[in-house]
Amino acid sequence: MPRKRRKKSKNYFTQDTENAIVLYNNTQDSELRSKIYEQEIHYAFFKLTENIIHTFKFYHTEVEKLEHLQHEIITFLLSKIHLFNPDKGAKAYSYFGTIVKRWLILYNTKNYNKKIKKVDVDILTKDTSSYTYEINDYGKKKDELSEYIELFLEYTTANILELFPKKNDAQIADAILELFRKRETIEIFNKKALYIYIREMVDVKTPKITKIADKLHQIFKSQYIFYLENGYAKFK
């Protein structure tokens, strides 16, 4: 039987959706569970996955149509639906949205790794700028940039508490530096995904991440220019 279509609405994931999920989890009647899912939950999950895919541009897939990818994610959501407990304070929209984003980050990283080996550190930019350190930045070879990154990591890691005296700032900086440390195995596909990745590690707001990233960017850029001109790094 074809799935019943719901009327289009911007508010696709409402309190009614959350109530339906709770009801779904609290009943053992398979026929009732199927009815609740088809009529109240499926559309919300479908739109949730669709919006997250497009908002954060999770387009590195192995499927021909994004609907097929959504089906995979929804299947995963159903395997986790029983874990949702509103008594713990989380809203269903945020709870399942987080699951979708984490799933897509891992999925996209895996697929992107198959295509190209690079790390986009676009996180080290201001919103109005576009600095991306890749293999040919400043016209230099990959091994030269790689050597500088190791020096940059050595300096910032050893002096992180001096550069960022506040504990929370140091944690954010370390999360950003972790992207450099894993640059051979991790692929970050766009700026929004990077912010998600870091927020998952340190649980802070985007403006705070940007502030710390700006400071690291200034250190990276100014010292890299010195390195290219003099053949060695001289961090202060």
Q: Contact, 113 vs 203, CB < 8 A?
A: no
Q: What is the pLDDT of residues 14-59, one digit of tens each?
A: 999 999 999 999 999 999 999 999 999 999 999 999 999 988 888 7
Q: What is the pLDDT of residues 165-208, one digit of tens each?
A: 998 899 889 888 887 787 665 555 455 666 676 776 677 777 88
Domain residue ranges in the chain: 15-115, 137-230
Does pLDDT of 129 surpass 50? Answer: no
Q: What is the pLDDT of residues 57-80, one digit of tens each?
A: 887 777 878 899 999 999 999 999
The fraction of the chain above a pLDDT of 90, given in percent, is 36
pLDDT at 136: 42
Query: Which residues, 6 or more positions from 10, have their beta carbon under 8 angstroms from its beta carbon?
Result: none
pLDDT at 142: 58
Query: Which residues, 6 or more positions from 131, have their beta carbon under 8 angstroms from its beta carbon?
Result: 122, 124, 125, 217, 221
- What mean pLDDT is reported for the chain? 79
